[in-house]
Amino acid sequence: MALGPARIPRIRHVREHHPNATVTGVDPNLAELEQAGLRPGIRTGRLVLALPHPLTVAGMRTTVRTLRDNLLDHGAASRVGAVVALPVTAHLTGG
């Protein structure tokens, strides 16, 4: 629900990532990995520290910001209600 129109992730993945895979500054996936602390030549200790990044406050902040941008930047503001209503409803029904 929070990814926006299907064409947007497709453009990002197929048009931006595939032809530019592993090209620093161009591949959007590399930028996300670098934000998590994963860089070429990383040592094992740093890798172990970087893996739980999505569960940290900084990782969650990045995820929430990305979801917000996907919802608002692509004319999907009506999805905000659905994204909020789903977990609220699940919580209220016992879950």
**What does the pLDDT look like over 19-51, one tens digit per residue?**
777 777 777 777 778 877 888 788 898 888 888
The band of 2, judged by pLDDT with boundaries at 50, 70 and 90, is low
Coil, helix or strand for 94? Answer: coil
pTM over 0.85: no
pLDDT at 92 over 60: yes
Please enumerate, as own/partner, the contacts of 55-60 that have beta carbons within 8 Å and a separation of 24 or more: none
How far is Cα 64 from Cα 66, in angstroms, rounded to an integer?
A: 5
Structure tokens at 46: 């740093």
pLDDT at 9 over 60: yes
Residue that the structure tokens 């629900």 belong to: 1
How far is Cα 88 from Cα 25, in angstroms, rounded to an integer?
A: 38
How far is Cα 69 from Cα 15, in angstroms, rounded to an integer?
A: 19
